[in-house]
Amino acid sequence: MTKEKKSISSAELKVLDILWKSSPLSASQIVAALEQTESWNSRTIKSLINRLMKKKAIGHKQEGNKYLYHPLLKKEEYLKKTSRNFIRRFFEGKISPLVAHFVKNEKISAEDIQELKNILEKLESKD
Protein backbone atom coordinates (compact mmCIF):
# COMPACT_ATOMS: atom_id res chain seq x y z
CA MET A 1 0.00 0.00 0.00
CA THR A 2 1.55 3.27 -1.04
CA LYS A 3 1.76 6.24 1.31
CA GLU A 4 -0.95 8.18 -0.49
CA LYS A 5 -3.48 5.42 0.18
CA LYS A 6 -5.28 5.85 3.48
CA SER A 7 -5.79 2.99 5.86
CA ILE A 8 -8.55 0.51 5.14
CA SER A 9 -11.25 0.11 7.82
CA SER A 10 -12.43 -3.35 8.87
CA ALA A 11 -15.76 -2.75 7.09
CA GLU A 12 -13.98 -1.68 3.88
CA LEU A 13 -11.77 -4.73 4.17
CA LYS A 14 -14.85 -6.96 3.94
CA VAL A 15 -15.72 -5.37 0.59
CA LEU A 16 -12.13 -5.75 -0.60
CA ASP A 17 -12.10 -9.38 0.49
CA ILE A 18 -15.14 -10.08 -1.70
CA LEU A 19 -13.35 -8.49 -4.65
CA TRP A 20 -10.09 -10.35 -3.95
CA LYS A 21 -12.02 -13.61 -4.10
CA SER A 22 -13.92 -12.76 -7.28
CA SER A 23 -13.87 -9.77 -9.56
CA PRO A 24 -15.00 -7.83 -11.40
CA LEU A 25 -18.34 -7.56 -9.61
CA SER A 26 -21.21 -5.11 -9.81
CA ALA A 27 -22.37 -3.22 -6.71
CA SER A 28 -25.44 -5.46 -6.51
CA GLN A 29 -23.23 -8.57 -6.58
CA ILE A 30 -21.08 -7.14 -3.78
CA VAL A 31 -24.24 -6.30 -1.80
CA ALA A 32 -25.58 -9.84 -2.31
CA ALA A 33 -22.31 -11.39 -1.16
CA LEU A 34 -22.11 -9.22 1.96
CA GLU A 35 -25.76 -9.62 2.88
CA GLN A 36 -25.00 -13.28 3.54
CA THR A 37 -22.63 -12.42 6.40
CA GLU A 38 -23.37 -8.81 7.41
CA SER A 39 -26.51 -7.01 8.49
CA TRP A 40 -25.70 -3.92 6.43
CA ASN A 41 -28.14 -2.34 4.03
CA SER A 42 -27.22 -1.71 0.40
CA ARG A 43 -26.61 2.02 0.96
CA THR A 44 -23.97 1.24 3.59
CA ILE A 45 -22.21 -1.17 1.24
CA LYS A 46 -22.33 1.33 -1.63
CA SER A 47 -20.81 3.95 0.70
CA LEU A 48 -18.00 1.53 1.50
CA ILE A 49 -17.45 0.98 -2.24
CA ASN A 50 -17.25 4.76 -2.77
CA ARG A 51 -14.77 5.16 0.09
CA LEU A 52 -12.57 2.44 -1.39
CA MET A 53 -12.76 4.18 -4.77
CA LYS A 54 -11.60 7.47 -3.19
CA LYS A 55 -8.74 5.64 -1.48
CA LYS A 56 -7.83 4.08 -4.84
CA ALA A 57 -8.07 0.61 -3.33
CA ILE A 58 -10.60 -0.43 -5.97
CA GLY A 59 -11.33 0.66 -9.51
CA HIS A 60 -14.22 0.22 -11.88
CA LYS A 61 -15.12 0.01 -15.50
CA GLN A 62 -18.51 0.71 -16.97
CA GLU A 63 -20.25 -2.10 -18.76
CA GLY A 64 -23.62 -1.07 -20.14
CA ASN A 65 -25.52 0.72 -17.42
CA LYS A 66 -23.56 -0.74 -14.49
CA TYR A 67 -20.11 -0.42 -13.01
CA LEU A 68 -17.96 -3.47 -12.44
CA TYR A 69 -15.52 -3.13 -9.54
CA HIS A 70 -12.10 -4.73 -9.17
CA PRO A 71 -9.31 -4.40 -6.61
CA LEU A 72 -6.41 -2.09 -7.35
CA LEU A 73 -4.78 -2.95 -4.04
CA LYS A 74 -3.33 -6.44 -4.12
CA LYS A 75 -4.06 -8.65 -1.13
CA GLU A 76 -0.38 -9.54 -0.74
CA GLU A 77 0.57 -5.84 -0.73
CA TYR A 78 -2.07 -5.11 1.93
CA LEU A 79 -0.98 -8.05 4.10
CA LYS A 80 2.67 -7.07 3.86
CA LYS A 81 2.00 -3.48 4.92
CA THR A 82 -0.44 -4.27 7.73
CA SER A 83 1.64 -7.12 9.15
CA ARG A 84 4.73 -4.90 9.17
CA ASN A 85 2.83 -2.17 11.00
CA PHE A 86 1.41 -4.68 13.48
CA ILE A 87 4.84 -6.10 14.28
CA ARG A 88 6.29 -2.59 14.70
CA ARG A 89 3.47 -1.42 16.96
CA PHE A 90 3.17 -4.44 19.24
CA PHE A 91 6.48 -6.31 19.06
CA GLU A 92 9.09 -3.57 18.56
CA GLY A 93 9.55 -4.66 14.96
CA LYS A 94 10.76 -8.14 15.92
CA ILE A 95 9.19 -11.36 14.72
CA SER A 96 10.43 -13.71 17.45
CA PRO A 97 8.32 -12.07 20.23
CA LEU A 98 5.30 -12.35 17.94
CA VAL A 99 5.87 -16.07 17.43
CA ALA A 100 6.57 -16.54 21.15
CA HIS A 101 3.30 -14.79 21.98
CA PHE A 102 1.32 -17.14 19.77
CA VAL A 103 3.15 -20.22 21.04
CA LYS A 104 2.34 -19.26 24.65
CA ASN A 105 -1.25 -18.15 24.08
CA GLU A 106 -2.63 -20.26 21.23
CA LYS A 107 -2.89 -23.95 20.53
CA ILE A 108 -0.44 -24.82 17.80
CA SER A 109 -0.93 -28.08 15.96
CA ALA A 110 1.88 -30.49 15.16
CA GLU A 111 1.28 -29.62 11.51
CA ASP A 112 1.81 -25.89 12.22
CA ILE A 113 4.97 -26.65 14.18
CA GLN A 114 6.35 -28.69 11.30
CA GLU A 115 5.48 -25.94 8.83
CA LEU A 116 7.30 -23.37 10.98
CA LYS A 117 10.33 -25.67 11.17
CA ASN A 118 10.32 -26.05 7.39
CA ILE A 119 10.16 -22.28 6.92
CA LEU A 120 13.07 -21.74 9.31
CA GLU A 121 15.13 -24.48 7.65
CA LYS A 122 14.62 -22.84 4.26
CA LEU A 123 15.66 -19.48 5.68
CA GLU A 124 18.78 -20.98 7.28
CA SER A 125 19.78 -22.73 4.06
CA LYS A 126 19.79 -19.40 2.21
CA ASP A 127 22.65 -18.12 4.38
pLDDT at 2: 43
pLDDT band at 99 (very low <50, low <70, confident <90, very high): confident
> Is the Cβ–Cβ distance between 46 and 85 less than 8 Å?
no
Sequence spans of domains, the chain: 10-71, 75-125
> Is the Cβ–Cβ distance between 30 and 82 less than 8 Å?
no
pLDDT at 12: 97
pLDDT at 36: 87
Identify the residue with better confidence: 44 or 127: 44
**Mean pLDDT, to the nearest integer, of 27-34?**
95
Q: What is the CATH number of domain 10-71?
A: 1.10.10.10
Q: List the single range of 1-5, 77-81, 121-125 with lowest mean pLDDT.
A: 1-5
What pTM did the predictor assign? 0.76
Alpha helices in the chain (DSSP H): 10-21, 27-35, 42-54, 75-91, 95-105, 110-125
pLDDT band at 127 (very low <50, low <70, confident <90, very high): low
> Is the Cβ–Cβ distance between 30 and 15 less than 8 Å?
yes
Q: CA nearest 40: which of 14, 58, 3?
A: 14
| Level-2 CATH architecture, domain 75-125 | Orthogonal Bundle (1.10)
**Mean pLDDT, to the nearest integer, of 98-105?**
88
Average pLDDT over the chain, rounded to whole?
Answer: 91
> Is the Cβ–Cβ distance between 67 and 60 less than 8 Å?
yes
